[in-house]
Structure 1
Amino acid sequence: MSEPNLVERYQAYRVRRFLANSERWRDMLPGWRTRRRRRALAVALLITFALMLAVAVTCHFYEWAPLLWLPACAAFLPVWTSLAIVSGRQGDAPTEALDEWEVQQQNSARSIALSVTQWLMMIPVTYLIVGSVVTGGDHGTMAYTGGLLTLTMLMIGGCLPTVIVAWSQPDPEPDPVVDHPEEAA
């Protein structure tokens, strides 16, 4: 048998790290693991992205607008982290750590996210190309606006697999030991 190459070793490391983190986060946010609550977090994340998009557009018109990016990030981080935890991080999990149904669901979500990302990236690309032609490249905030638009679109695309998986996952099976200890005995 041959030695595992760099990619195989990295994949094995990712699986070990994913499984260790899954074990550590398994009991976190138990009340938020229902479909209804996961969907609420997904909607909150999409609202956060809308806020980031609004900040990016505002940057085109006002030089002080980039300061609004900090509150948008402050809203994004806890919502994204919570959604990733309650969905079991299956949107970005290594395939070796998932069963066949989860891999199929993940691949479908990733395929959709890739298509959405490609289309969304046309927004900042068009803005930068058309804007530089119209202004002759003299607009002072165009680069920053284009950067924030690009970053927002990439963040949407990167988070979309988890949003799709969290949205479509069924409610978890009740644990008989926790829910009805008298029946488990």
Structure 2
Amino acid sequence: MKQPTNSVFPPTIFYSAQDSRACVPVLLETLQQAMADDAYWQPLLANFKVSKSNTIHLGVFIEPYLQLIIEGKKTLESRFSINRTAPYCKVQNGDLLLLKRSGGPIVGICQITHAWSYTLDATEWDTLKTQHAQALCIQSPAFWEEKKKANYATLMKVRHVRVVEPAIPFVKSDRRGWLAL
């Protein structure tokens, strides 16, 4: 899918499941421009343009979790699923995670430093709850109750969180909360 020419920065990025990688070049270029003054992100993003060893992921976030990641209070991201869907076994150390506000633009970026995928059973559930609730910023028992139907979980430690300014409009038509671009 060819990106429309747009002289406005940042351009709107259009994602299509039929051609999921078509938006990556424009997205990387836009991120590089947005991070032009960042000594950490600028070379890393430039390397992503030439390297094929890591993946860019886009996670859709709701509040308060989005703000907690941006503030550095939430250092561990989780995704639970009934089926083996991304990011389960699709994310690895060094991958990039774009933080997209639910129904809105990409507002942040971070790097995944560690990733763990679990097939859930009673022991794994207890481990997740007792060992990771603080880093996940889970304070409500309702969260765990809501996720108890899940068979799979992925935990990702994130660092180098940076707000993307200006936010990047990102249009996708599906309801998935995670994309591996």
**The TM-score by the shorter chain falls in which range?**
under 0.3
TM-score by length of 1: 0.26
The structure with more radius of gyration: 1
